[in-house]
Amino acid sequence: MRAYALIPVMSDTKAPMAFRRVAIIGRYGSPGMAAPLSRLAKFLSARGHQVVLEAETARSAPLPGYPTAAADRLGPQADVAIVVGGDGTMLSIGRQLAPFDVPLIGVNLGRLGFLTDIPIAKLEASLGAMLDGRFLEEQRTLLDAEVVHEAGTSERALALNEVVVSRGTMGGMIDLAVEIDGRFGYALRADGLIVATPTGSTAYALSAHGPIVHPQVPALLLVPVAPHALTNRPIVIGETSTITVTLLRGKDASAHCDGHAHFPLHEGDRVAVRRAAHPARLLHPEGHDYFAMLREKLHWSETPESVQQAKN
């Protein structure tokens, strides 16, 4: 079983050499992205790191003097990747760099920032300590989704948050059959079904009333979306299981992987979801606290009284 504990990593004075080559990825097309990327690149260069810019990032916010590489070619050229943006940018690059075992550091310029946890105001202080070897590391499960069409063709994609089988915009509810490790689990009539990782438990699955699952828990979540029967409830199973979802009835249905890959489904098509061969590696600053992050992002500590006091 893969270990998911946060691992404190302390280093000697040679630790920066472990991160000699640093890739920078920014949120595409975001206004004002050039300034923080330039600030980051200059900071890294001054420390002696070799900087390479992801190609789409460089096109959106050109930084003369730095080499570039396409996202699918960054893996062999980077010891660590720094993502400047939001969780969507982290999800995208995480899927692509996982097979190369490249760790990711997230700088938050988005809204919530569950995965990009370094505020831009603390950029140099936080990154300096982490690149010197003072960080916490964790592994996040990726999902490997295979869409098998009744005609015999198949398609595949990876997901870090979730794989969703859902109704279309013009159709009604869909009927699904869910198998777990080759055994029939249950039938479901609903708007859809979410198969999520613990990382994805704070994303779409949370909106569908699924549980929050700590990243250290080796589990997968099956969360129905607007089920017809109130007895269809979310369930958490072991991460080594294979979930197969068959579309029994429904028009205009589709499968979605992290919102980046979309596959039309027809009756009889199957979506098989299993743990991917490679996890994503995330690095956090020392003192990172998952529950403190939840309190900050989800406002767990707020009461009606505290909200009123804040307004006053």
Q: Assess contact for 155 and 143: CB atoms under 8 A.
A: no
**CA gap 6, 172 in Å, rounded:** 43
User: Catalytic residue at 87?
Assistant: yes
Which of 12, 72, 79, 87 does the annotation list as catalytic? 87
**CA gap 79, 234 in Å, rounded:** 38
Structure tokens at 43: 């900071």
Q: Assess contact for 100 and 281: CB atoms under 8 A.
A: no
**CA gap 166, 250 in Å, rounded:** 10
What residue type is 281 in one-letter code? Answer: R
Structure tokens at 147: 């869409």
Tally Cβ neighbours within 10 Å of residue 206: 17
End-to-end CA distance of the chain: 51
Q: Catalytic residue numbers?
A: 87
